[in-house]
Amino acid sequence: MSQGIIRGWLRSLLIQASWNYERMIGVGVAFSSEPILRKLPDGVGGESYRAALGRASAQFNAHPYFSAAAIGALTKTEHQGLPPETMSRFRTALSSPLGSVGDKIVWAGTLPIASAIGLILAVVVSPLVGVVVFLLVHNVVNIAIRAWAFNAGWVAGIGVGNRLGAPLLQFGLKYAGPVTALALGLMLPIVSAWLFADFDGSAITATAVVAAVGILLARWLWPTLGGIRYGLIVVVLAALAGWI
């Protein structure tokens, strides 16, 4: 079984490879669960194996790192032989919390924090140090979450929801927002000063005007006018103005 669990965990690193609007990461969950389901009583190709793999490929979405908890928990319930209706309801109930926790802790937490630290170190110390520290900070969290989540799911099975109340996760949920805001605020003047190092006064003023217009437009028009669209518009306007 342990070999199957390791294979399943490794496969979960590819969980989003077949992301689609019909089943989202459902097929990825089935792909990751398959090695663990091979040890069901009637083996590969048996009735319970096929039924479990079929259920595993149904629609599902969650944060990719925290979805490891779903793979562990769902395969555990299959091995425990819980009724299909219970497993289906359990699967539906898991999706939102695993997505929400991951979005808050990783996408709105450790990723921007690691990015801010990496940017500061890249411009103050060296690019290599910035890149290495960024990757280290982010991926220590990435691997730790995936490993913890998978184990929590496999050990707790249908009770995995309680594991989401773990003190460290609650700590992360409480402080991710303020720490991210602090890190981004700290980074902005330091990295901007580096970017503006060879700008003269008029160039800094012009940059500030472009930035201010973008911020004001984003207040009213986001998400229609996000950062990339504003960037593309000002580049096109610059081209039309004959500067390119």
Site for another protein in 181-200 (CB under 8 A): 181-196, 198-199
134 makes contact with another protein (CB under 8 A)? yes
* Measured distance CA(73)–CA(117) in Å, rounded: 35
Among 38, 40, 74, which Cα is nearest to 57's? 74
Residues 81-110 within binding reach of another protein (CB under 8 A): 99, 103, 107-108
Among 85, 87, 100, 86, which Cα is nearest to 37's? 87
CB of 159 to another protein, least distance (A): 25
Inter-helix orientation angle 167-195/111-124, to 10°: 30
Q: Which of 71, 114, 152, 160 binds another protein (CB under 8 A)?
A: 114
CB of 172 to another protein, least distance (A): 15
4 makes contact with another protein (CB under 8 A)? no
Distances in Å between the Cα of 29 and the Cα atoms of 14, 21, 26, 70, 199 are 10, 15, 5, 8, 51
CB of 119 to another protein, least distance (A): 6
8 makes contact with another protein (CB under 8 A)? no
Q: Which of 5, 8, 9, 28 binds another protein (CB under 8 A)?
A: 28
